């Protein structure tokens, strides 16, 4: 029994390291795009000055439209108040949109959290990856991921919802079963393990073609009045 427990722990640890490396790679790619755009900023200004000097307002308007479109692909779309949450969410939102999956996110997080960056990465990263994988099974026009993160009293509340191909997903032994294989199963185990260790709560629900995961994590030590938005929107 100990042998198998150690084997599972080793696999989970390896999966965790791979997950973190993937997240950091995604974040670095996003910031690399932003740095590239900033590097070109001076050139863009010079081009617009030439159009303005020539009185070519139509060319200037067209160039500004192109810049606005380009900027929307690299701009930081979510600013929660917590740097690590921003990094994870924005990297995943960028990944989802590159795969034609719209994301609607409303997230507010205290700067200081009673949760390690590693644990936060595991929970949010896995929840987002699961939602992306499920969305890819649908035609583009039916894809959508909704995210809501905020404080509920002294607890951090996270909600991830995505549409699914099935009206209601089946359960086996009271739990939803992974359709992605072994690695995905490890991701689910890792989420549950982290939440249990933190004294949190997780709920998964499949209804009317949508799958929702809700998480509550105690944050009493680091919550503050200005960051306490207890009413869900």
Instruction: Please report the pLDDT score of residue 229 as a whole number.
Output: 43
Whether 67 and 100 have beta carbons less than 8 Å apart is answered as no
Point out which residues pair with 215 in neighbouring strands.
158, 202
Instruction: Please report the pLDDT score of residue 13 as a whole number.
Output: 62
User: Per-residue pLDDT for 69 more than 90?
Assistant: no
CATH architecture group of domain 77-227: 2-Layer Sandwich (3.30)
Whether 161 and 221 have beta carbons less than 8 Å apart is answered as no
User: Per-residue pLDDT for 25 more than 70?
Assistant: no
Residue 141 CA to its chain's centroid (Å): 20
Query: 44-65 pLDDT, tens per residue?
Result: 888 888 989 999 999 988 888 8
Query: 112-132 pLDDT, tens per residue?
Result: 888 887 788 889 988 998 899
Whole-angstrom distance, CA of residue 99 vs CA of residue 101: 6
Closest to 144 (Cα-Cα) out of 106, 104, 204, 98: 104
Read off the pLDDT of each residue in 13-36 and give the average, rounded to a whole number: 62
The residue that leads in pLDDT, 13 or 88, is 88
Query: 137-165 pLDDT, tens per residue?
Result: 999 999 999 999 999 988 999 999 999 87
Q: Where do the domains of the chain lie?
A: 77-227
Instruction: Please report the pLDDT score of residue 174 as a whole number.
Output: 47
Instruction: Please report the pLDDT score of residue 173 as a whole number.
Output: 46
Q: What is the pTM of this model?
A: 0.64
Read off the pLDDT of each residue in 56-77 and give the average, rounded to a whole number: 75
């Amino acid at each position: 029994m100990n042998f198998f427990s150690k084997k599972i722990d080793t696999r989970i640890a390896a999966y965790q390291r791979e997950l973190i490396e993937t997240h950091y790679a995604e974040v670095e790619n996003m910031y690399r795009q932003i740095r590239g755009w900033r590097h070109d900023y001076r050139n863009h200004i010079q081009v617009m000055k030439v159009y303005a000097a020539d009185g070519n307002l139509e060319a200037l308007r067209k160039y500004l439209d192109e810049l606005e479109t380009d900027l929307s692909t690299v701009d930081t779309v979510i600013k929660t108040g917590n740097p690590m949450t921003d990094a994870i969410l924005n990297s995943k939102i960028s990944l989802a949109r590159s795969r034609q999956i719209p994301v609607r996110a409303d997230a507010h997080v205290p700067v200081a959290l009673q949760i390690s960056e590693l644990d936060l990465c595991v929970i949010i990263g896995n929840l987002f990856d699961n939602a992306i994988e499920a969305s890819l099974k649908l035609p583009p026009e039916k894809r959508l991921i909704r995210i809501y993160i905020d404080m509920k009293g002294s607890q951090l509340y996270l909600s991830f919802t995505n549409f699914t191909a099935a009206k209601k997903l089946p359960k086996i032994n009271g739990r939803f079963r992974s359709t992605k294989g072994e690695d995905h199963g490890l991701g689910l185990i890792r989420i549950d393990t982290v939440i249990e260790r933190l004294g949190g709560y997780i709920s998964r629900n499949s209804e009317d073609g949508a799958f929702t995961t809700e998480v509550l994590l105690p944050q009493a030590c680091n919550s503050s009045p200005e960051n306490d938005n207890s009413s869900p929107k």
